[in-house]
Amino acid sequence: MTSHQTTQTMKPATAAKKLGVYLEATPTEFQEGVVSRTELAALQSDPPEWLQKLRSNGPHPRPVVAAKLGISISGLARGGVTDALTTEQIDALKQDDPEWLRKERATQAEVRKETVRIKERNAERSGKAQEPRS
């Protein structure tokens, strides 16, 4: 009995997400084809010029925009940002520092503090649970 190894492929949207790029800004061949895991690994380890340019200049997908601004994706939506932004546009937003961005950054800072507090509390509880009772 022979086993046939099939190459695992993914849709361009999935590959773009894994590469952290905006699908609509990728070359047509990338958008219309399928990407194998081997091809994805090659793109990640040795990115072609188009991928390097997209990563540095954009347009960037919303998760990348949110990360560069230090806020959540929901915060982007609350701020009215629904489209992909270029690095230049992100830098301009940082420079302008609108009220909604300051507010979202403060919210994100609170969320991070709370996450750390909960993590520490849970670690403390699990440490107490492991101590032998007398």
Contacts of 21 (CB under 8 A, 6+ apart): 51, 54, 55, 60, 61
DSSP, res 71: S
Q: Is the pTM of this model over 0.85?
A: no
Mean of the per-residue pLDDT values of the chain? 88
H-state helical runs in 2-98: 12-19, 28-32, 37-45, 49-57, 62-69, 73-78, 87-96
At 9, the pLDDT band (50, 70, 90 cuts) reads confident
Mean pLDDT calculated for residue range 95-115: 93
Span 77-93, pLDDT tens digits? 999 888 899 999 999 99
